[in-house]
Amino acid sequence: MASKYMTVSWDQLHKDVRTLSERLSNFNFKGIISITRGGLIPAGIIARELELRLIDTVSVVTYDEEKRGELKIIKHPSITNDGEEFLIIDDLVDSGITAKAIRKLLPKAYFACLYAKPEGKEFTDKFIMEVQQDTWILFPWDMAPAFAPPLIKSKKK
């Protein structure tokens, strides 16, 4: 279980994805391979920013809530080459287990993500921000807005 949490808002996520897109804009990618599920939304934004229309997915299961389990690739990308001229996108590289498996599958693809933890950052080619290893990132798609009463009302009880 994580000892710290970092909340990423939709606004922050969009800003970070656009920054990553800018840093990737000098490459000529044929398409994107999104690692599901975390890479789906960043991949969509990057596809728009870089005007890429070819988007594929690789579906990997490694976590159940905050518990890491055995890695399973439950859907392979449809491209049959080694990933050359393709951009792999994920939200985060944590321990590097997923990144290593995908790199083995697509060794010539370029791997980029938004956030990287120390144990996994060596497996990515580009990331926006390093996060401490013991931090669990709460992405906007993991949260729901909830009503919060005005502070003054809680003091009147």
- Is 125 among the residues known to form the active site? no
Q: Confidence band (pLDDT; 50, 70, 90) for 147? A: confident
CB-CB neighbours of 18 under 10 Å: 15
Query: Catalytic: which of 11, 91, 125, 134?
Result: 91
Token readout for 33 is: 């391979």
Most confident of 61-65, 88-92, 141-145: 88-92
- Is 16 among the residues known to form the active site? no
Residue with more model confidence, 153 or 70? 70
One-letter amino acid at 41 equals I
CB-neighbour burial class of residue 145 (10 A; exposed 0-12, middle 13-18, buried 19+): exposed
Query: Catalytic: which of 11, 56, 94, 125?
Result: 94
Q: What is the pLDDT of residue 100?
A: 95
Cα–Cα distance, 70 to 155 (Å, whole number): 48
Q: Confidence band (pLDDT; 50, 70, 90) for 1? A: low
pTM here is: 0.87
Q: What is the pLDDT of residue 64?
A: 66
CA distances from 79 to 23, 33, 75, 85 (A): 25, 9, 12, 11
Query: Catalytic: which of 82, 90, 134, 142?
Result: 90
Residue 65 pLDDT greater than 70, yes or no: no
Give the 3-state DSSP-derived string for the chain, with helices as H, strands as E and coil as C: CCCEEEECCHHHHHHHHHHHHHHHCCCCCCEEEEEECCCHHHHHHHHHHCCCCCEEEEEEEEEECCEEEEEEEEECCCCCCCCCCEEEEEEEECCCHHHHHHHHHCCCCEEEEEEECCCCHHHCCEEEEECCCCEEEECHHHCCCCCCCCHHHHHCC
Domains and CATH numbers, the chain: 4-142 (3.40.50.2020)
Q: Confidence band (pLDDT; 50, 70, 90) for 149? A: confident
Q: What is the pLDDT of residue 132?
A: 97
